[in-house]
Amino acid sequence: MSEQTPSTTTRVIDGKLAAERVRQEVAVAVAERRTRGLRAPGLATVLVGADPASAVYVRNKRKAAEGAGIISVHHELPAETTTAELLACVAALNVDDTVDGILVQLPLPKHIDEHAVLVAITPAKDVDGFHPDNVARLAMGLKGGFVPCTPLGCLRLLDDEGVTLAGLHAVVVGRSNIVGKPMASLLLQRDATVTIAHSKTKNLAELTRSADIVVAAVGRVKMLGREHIKPGAIVIDVGINRGADGKLCGDVDFDAIQGIALAATPVPGGVGPMTIAMLLQNTLTSFDRATGSLTSTAKKAP
Ligand code: NDP
């Protein structure tokens, strides 16, 4: 990666293809365990209320799980479900031996204590990686936890690109608990020099222009343009936004950085598909820990 030489063509990092590879890996691993007489891994999804976007996300997760041979158990609860009722549902799933992963779809209705629900999920089945135990494990560099699916997917894309992260400067724009902070931890674990930028950061363009890797996780339409990217940098765009034309777009102006970035993820078709794929991988990891059948796929998970 050179600072001076602009890339003539920016490689498109195909998240759809990469996600398909991960799904295949999980499907093969599940089939292999079945041939050894083990049960199928189980993923429980819990949807409270009728938010249409959440319903679509859950449906896609269930479909992907089933496609990989994972048993999908779904609980659909009415919008007026109380925190206590949801906690009871989670408690039952915690002790269900056929369930390896529990996913409570967010956001929850306003009257439900979201934090209470997330900490009630047993960390061993917290395949979203949101439980404080798993957050701490990641921050401390301890193995045996779960990493949130979106940053895990971003890391996998970088790995698939063959990037050696050690010593590179990575700027993560955004500091949310589900994307920015865990992304920064993962990059730090790989010996990148990591800067986290957020809404109070001054001179953002100057900062990102010094980055070999830019991860954008903001949620603002095409806020990073040509002036934000160093020639030869790799750009991972987590943002999912609706542009003025009504079409989905990222936090990065993909067209504007052509010929500048070495490689970049498009939106859609970049990070998005990886999130579900990594959920399957986390579920398999959980299953392997529960059944004591670790393999190369599971060992790869940080
Ligand atoms: P949050 O809203 O939780 O966090 C956004 C972050 O961006 C905050 O840390 C905020 O800073 C920062 N920010 C806001 N404005 C600026 C600015 N002008 N300059 C620099 N930083 C800024 O969002 P999420 O992390 O949940 O999601 C980010 C994006 O990623 C969204 O578009 C979301 O839809 C998408 N997403 C995509 C997923 C996928 O599967 N591809 C999964 C999850 C999210 P501050 O903390 O100071 O407020």
Q: What number of other Cβ atoms are within 10 A of residue 154's Cβ?
A: 30
What pairs with residue 46 in β-bridges?
A: 75, 104
Give which of 118, 50, 125 is closest to 285, Cα–Cα: 125
CB of 111 sitting under 6 A from ligand 1: no
Least Cα distance to 15 among 229, 238, 222 occurs for 238
pLDDT reported for residue 3: 46
Could you tell me if residue 300 is inside a domain?
no
Q: Which atom of ligand 1 is nearest to the CA of 223?
A: 18
Are both 176 and 267 inside the same structural domain? yes
| Residue 112 forms part of a structural domain | yes
- Domain end (from 73, 105, 122): 122
**Is 26 part of any domain?**
no
Burial class of residue 176 (count of CB atoms within 10 Å of its CB; 0-12, 13-18, 19+): middle
Q: How far is the CA of 182 from the centre of ligand 1 (A)?
A: 13
pTM given for the model:
0.95
Domain count, the chain: 2
Q: What is the residue range of 114's domain?
A: 38-122
CATH of the domain at 80: 3.40.50.10860
274 lines ligand 1 (CB under 6 A): no
User: CB neighbours of 63 closer than 8 A, spacing ≥ 6?
Assistant: none
- Both 164 and 266 in one domain: the answer is yes
**DSSP-H helix ranges across the chain:** 15-35, 52-67, 83-94, 114-120, 132-140, 149-160, 180-189, 204-208, 271-291, 296-300
Same domain, 109 and 51: yes
Do 260 and 179 reside in the same domain of the chain? yes
Burial class (CB in 10 A: 0-12, 13-18, 19+), 149: buried
Ligand 1 centroid from CA 151, angstroms: 12
CB 102 within 8 A of CB 126: yes
Ligand 1 close to Cβ of residue 216 (< 6 A): no
Which of the listed residues 60, 103, 128, 179 should we mutate to test ligand 1's pocket, taking the one with most ligand atoms within 8 A of CB? 179
- Contact 263 CB / ligand 1 (< 6 Å): no
For residue 112 the two structure tokens come to 């439900």
User: Catalytic positions, please?
Assistant: 61, 105, 128
| CB distance 274 to 147 below 8 Å | no
Q: Based on the domain organization, do 180 and 101 belong to the same domain?
A: no
Instruction: Indicate if 153 and 267 belong to the same structural domain.
Output: yes
Query: Does the beta carbon of 249 sit less than 6 angstroms from any atom of ligand 1?
Result: no
Q: How far is the CA of 237 from the centre of ligand 1 (A)?
A: 11
pLDDT for the residue 298: 44
The residue whose C-alpha atom lies closest to atom 6 belonging to ligand 1 is 174
Predicted local confidence at residue 293, as pLDDT: 80
The DSSP call for residue 270 is S
CA distance 26 to 58: 19
One digit per residue, the tens of pLDDT, for the chain of length 302 reads 444 455 579 999 999 999 999 999 999 999 999 999 999 999 999 999 999 999 999 999 999 999 999 999 999 999 999 999 999 999 999 999 999 999 999 999 999 999 999 999 999 999 999 999 999 999 999 999 999 999 999 999 999 999 999 999 999 999 999 999 999 999 999 999 999 999 999 999 999 999 999 999 999 999 999 999 999 999 999 999 999 999 999 999 999 999 999 999 999 999 999 999 999 999 999 999 999 986 544 444 45
Sign of the four-CA dihedral 219, 198, 185, 109: negative
In a domain? residue 129: no
> Which residues, listed in sequence order, are joined to residue 236 by a DSSP beta bridge?
215
Q: Does 114 map to a domain?
A: yes
Does residue 179's CB lie within 6 angstroms of at least one atom of ligand 1? Answer: yes
Ligand 1: distance of its center to the CA of 176 in Å?
6
Q: Is 176 in the pocket of ligand 1 (CB under 6 A)?
A: yes
The tokens 């992260």 sit on which residue?
A: 165
How far, in Å, from the CA of 238 to the mean position of ligand 1?
Answer: 8
Are residues 240 and 184 both part of a single domain?
Answer: yes
Task: Using DSSP, state whether 261 is helix, strand or coil.
Answer: coil
Q: What is the pLDDT of residue 302?
A: 55
Tell me if 10 is assigned to some domain: no
185 and 267 belong to one structural domain: yes
219 Cβ inside 6 Å of ligand 1: yes
Indicate whether 104 belongs to any domain.
yes
Ligand 1: distance of its center to the CA of 67 in Å?
30
- 301 in a structural domain: no
Looking at the CA of residue 251, tell me the nearest atom of ligand 1. 32
CATH number at residue 181: 3.40.50.720
